[in-house]
Structure 1
Amino acid sequence: MAKSSSSSTTAPDTVWLARGRHLGPEAERDVRRNLIALKAAGVLDDFLDLDPIEAARSTDLFPRDESAAAGPYARRLFEARWRVADGVTVRAQLTTYDPESRRVESEGVTWVLAAEAERAWEAGWPSPATVFWPESDQVAWDHARVPGVRLRTTNHLPKDDGELRRLLRGCTRQSWSIHVVVHEAMTPDARGQQPITRFLPPSLRHRVVEHRATPEQALIADFAMKRELGVGLPRGGAVVLPPAPQVPGYDAERHTVRDVFLDGTEPTELLQRITEFASLPRPLPADAEQVLTRLRQGWHLLTPDEELVHARAMVTWYARALEAMTASCDLYREAAESAHAALAEAPGGNDASRTPTPAAAEQDSSPLKALTKTLALFRGPNR
């Protein structure tokens, strides 16, 4: 996979993106089982299980360029199509990857997921992550790119200042997720230890990573966040972390909540701030842009109507290409005939046995000039 870098492209509001790591033994098996079950239940219209090399192969009917390739470390490519409210169609691709180095095999299987709807994405729609991955806690597909961080649970901040700052940098630079830090004013009971992300709308639950600071971490977490990110952490409160590069419209004061009661009740104000932040236009990381391009340019799961439209479009394209080739051949033929005519009109043009002498070479300059002028007529950009 390509390394993260900045991009000037704004993430489309029709798109849902996520990535993570699966630490179990058979990631692709877990995806297949979930897709098969959802199709049998009528949740999915259809799905495909593809070899990445075959998926990127170009054919006469489906010409593909390099943007359709998932890269040398890709293991498997899955596509799924389903419908949400009002019959809106969603198309999604999930690609699994081997580690780029054998030294990090313990990090599991990396996956990236891109989904796009026919209109602006709504938070109440089902999460594309649970289309491909089972919701069971026994399947460890929800590990974030940053080691030690998970999507579906609370993540306590490191106690060491240096580790804490490295975590903050890793979580906010070119992140595909929204990161929230909550300070526990006092050690919560079992209900308060449950992640607040469970109160979020379905499509936001797997885009938000919840970090917790213990009661004694109030000062160290506040200091580290101010130094690294320029935002503070209120005692007993929470803050939505600013990503890097900065998101236009982000306001540290606006996205800070002074009081969060971790008693199992719904933290309405914090949820509202997270939802507001999720709706802000965000720059699309370059690696996410590549994933989105593959979804759009390398899509395979066409409906019969889409296949017919595509076939007709290709017939039209080939017909126009053939017309252009025919016209080009006609021009070349006319040029060749004119050149032969010019040679025939030249003195001695048909005498192949004539041996030129220096004097004859000077005389031949005149027909050569005539031939040059004739060929010049066919040098135009359209010839």
Structure 2
Amino acid sequence: MPTSPTVRPATPPTVWLARGRHLGSAAEDSVLRTLRRLKDSQDIDDFLELPEAEDAPERVVEARWRAPGEVTVRARLALALASAGGQEWTLAAEAEQPWDPAWPSPATMFWPDDPDATWDRDVATGLRFRGVNPLPEDDKDVRRVLRDAVRSPWNIHFVVHEAMTPDHRGREALARWLPPGLRHRVIEHRAAPQQLRVVNWALEDFGVQVPRGGAVVLPGTPVPPDYDAAGFSVRSVFLDGSEPEGLVAALTAFAALPRPLPEGGQAALTGLREEWHLLTLEEELARERRLVAMYAEALEAMTKSRDLYREAAERAHEALAAYRESAGAAPPRQPSEAPALSPLRQLTRTLERLKGTAKTLRPSPAGTDGGGDRPATTAPEPDGGPDAPAGITGADTPAGTAGPDDGDRPAKTRGPERG
């Protein structure tokens, strides 16, 4: 069963995020030169280049400045090698108040605001932020570019259709009319007059269309919940050098929509908030106070735990001593009586005794004397014959054992005598 995608948290209103690619190899030098120049002119308060770790995949530079109204802004730029060449950069800035698009762009605090600079390239499409990007002539390439633009989660893309070929005033980028905070997050795509059908065919899968001679703001990925294709479509855009008010209003409204953090945005925001190093003296003092308070709480908890353990140990010793005293004063235990027999065992023993009694009371069989089981043929002769055991005579026969008339009983026959 397919799993649902992880729901990303929404971008806070105080946060400004952007990602791009620098085509050259000296991106770090360009950033540091810009920061030194702005610090010397007091346009920024301070900046800090973090030490490079051996296994760190990126270089990090921090900067702090004040927006109009004395609003402190902290920003963090991370540079990493790009797979397509050059260096990718991720810029996260956060203010003390909700972000105002009229504030200076954080990108111009790190990068030179030079038209010939090569730092303003979109990662998804490779197109420029501050320039006009004509769509390719091949239909397949048009579809590929617009598909990548719609799927771009970091920046805002819009498409303008030229109703007729403009003059030199209409060939200038429309981003110059945008508020400073949007100029480096918006990418303009230009469609030639004959490309209207191809563009709408490529955008049909995404549910948006470009009016003839107008413009449309692409929904991006993921689509904001309040996005309406008709509401972000401009019927006409005059490419005569005048301000396109309808387009500026649509782009500003789209940028204000609540949108989830793009992939990688959570890591950039976490690094800005939790790994910040550029502190003022007041911030360092406040941090040290927080650390002292935290250590004091930990020490107090350890002290309470120690006291509780000591109290429990004392009670255990008292209980053990009382037990030993009571055990010494008690009389010695008598050995317990033999365990009572079970009813079955008692019945067995009773039957054994009855069996023995029955044997003693059983009458003697015929042919034996009354003295027991000994045969009569082996009985001794009367009056103590030579074969009688010592001490046994006829007078020893108990009274009443013979019959009433002993003389009438015939004498027992003996076997023939041997010569």
Name the TM-score, length of structure 2 as normaliser. 0.72
Match of 2:196 among 194, 204, 218: 218
Moved more, 157-166 or 202-211: 157-166
Q: CA 1:160/1:329 → structure 2, altered by over 3 Å: closer, same or farther?
A: farther
Aligned equivalent of 1:273: 250
* 8 Å contact kept, 2:46–2:65: yes
* 8 Å contact kept, 2:120–2:128: yes
Match of 2:178 among 162, 177, 200: 200
Aligned equivalent of 2:232: 255
Aligned equivalent of 1:189: 167
Q: What is the CA distance between 1:327 and its match in structure 2? A: 1.5
Give distance in 2, aligned partners of 1:6 and 1:193.
42
Aligned equivalent of 1:367: none
Structure with more contact order per residue of length (Cα contacts < 8 Å, sep ≥ 6): 1
Q: What is the CA distance between 1:174 and its match in structure 2? A: 5.2
Give distance in 2, aligned partners of 1:172 and 1:234.
17
Aligned equivalent of 1:351: none
Q: Matches of residues 354-365 of structure 1 in structure 2 within 5 Å?
A: none
Aligned equivalent of 1:58: none
Aligned equivalent of 2:301: 324
Q: What is the CA distance between 1:157 and its match in structure 2? A: 2.0
Aligned equivalent of 1:19: 19
3-state SS, counterpart of residue 76 of structure 2: strand
Q: Matches of residues 160-175 of structure 1 in structure 2 within 5 Å?
A: 160-173=138-151, 175=153
3-state SS, counterpart of residue 19 of structure 1: strand
Give distance in 2, aligned partners of 1:162 and 1:178.
22
Give distance in 2, aligned partners of 1:212 and 1:127.
24
* 8 Å contact kept, 1:20–1:141: yes
Q: What is the CA distance between 1:347 and its match in structure 2? A: 5.8
Q: Does 1:73 align with 2:57?
A: yes
Match of 2:109 among 112, 124, 131: 131
Q: CA 1:321/1:192 → structure 2, altered by over 3 Å: closer, same or farther?
A: same
* 8 Å contact kept, 1:7–1:284: no
- When you count helix as a share of all residues, which structure comes out higher? 1
Match of 1:121 among 99, 103, 108: 99
* 8 Å contact kept, 2:46–2:63: yes
Aligned equivalent of 2:72: 89
Q: Does 1:98 align with 2:81?
A: yes
* 8 Å contact kept, 2:214–2:234: yes
3-state SS, counterpart of residue 231 of structure 2: coil
Give the count of matched residue pairs. Answer: 324
3-state SS, counterpart of residue 287 of structure 2: helix
* 8 Å contact kept, 2:124–2:152: no
Q: What is the CA distance between 1:276 and its match in structure 2? A: 1.4
Which residue type is aligned with residue 123 of structure 2? R
Aligned equivalent of 1:234: 211
Give per-residue Cα distances to partners, 1:299-338, cap 9 Å, x unaligned: 1111111111111111111000011112222233334444
3-state SS, counterpart of residue 44 of structure 1: coil
Q: CA 1:169/1:326 → structure 2, altered by over 3 Å: closer, same or farther?
A: farther
Q: Does 1:293 align with 2:270?
A: yes
3-state SS, counterpart of residue 271 of structure 1: helix
Give distance in 2, aligned partners of 1:264 and 1:135.
22
Q: CA 1:311/1:221 → structure 2, altered by over 3 Å: closer, same or farther?
A: same
Give per-residue Cα distances to partners, 1:324-374, cap 9 Å, x unaligned: 1122222333344444555556669xxxxxxxxxx9xxxxxxxxxxxxxxx
3-state SS, counterpart of residue 276 of structure 2: coil
Which residue type is aligned with residue 325 of structure 1? M
Name the TM-score, length of structure 1 as normaliser. 0.79
Which residue type is aligned with residue 240 of structure 2? D
Q: What is the CA distance between 1:126 and its match in structure 2? A: 0.5
Which residue type is aligned with residue 42 of structure 1? Q
* 8 Å contact kept, 1:6–1:174: no
Find the structure with the greater CA-based Rg: 2
RMSD between aligned residues:
2.3
Q: CA 1:261/1:327 → structure 2, altered by over 3 Å: closer, same or farther?
A: same
What's the % identity of the aligned pairs? 53
Give per-residue Cα distances to partners, 1:114-133, cap 9 Å, x unaligned: 11111111111100000000
3-state SS, counterpart of residue 277 of structure 1: helix
Moved more, 298-307 or 128-137: 298-307
Q: What is the CA distance between 1:159 and its match in structure 2? A: 3.2
* 8 Å contact kept, 2:216–2:233: yes
3-state SS, counterpart of residue 25 of structure 2: coil
Which residue type is aligned with residue 43 of structure 1? D
* 8 Å contact kept, 1:96–1:111: yes
* Runs of at least 4 residues off by over 6 Å: none
Aligned equivalent of 1:370: none
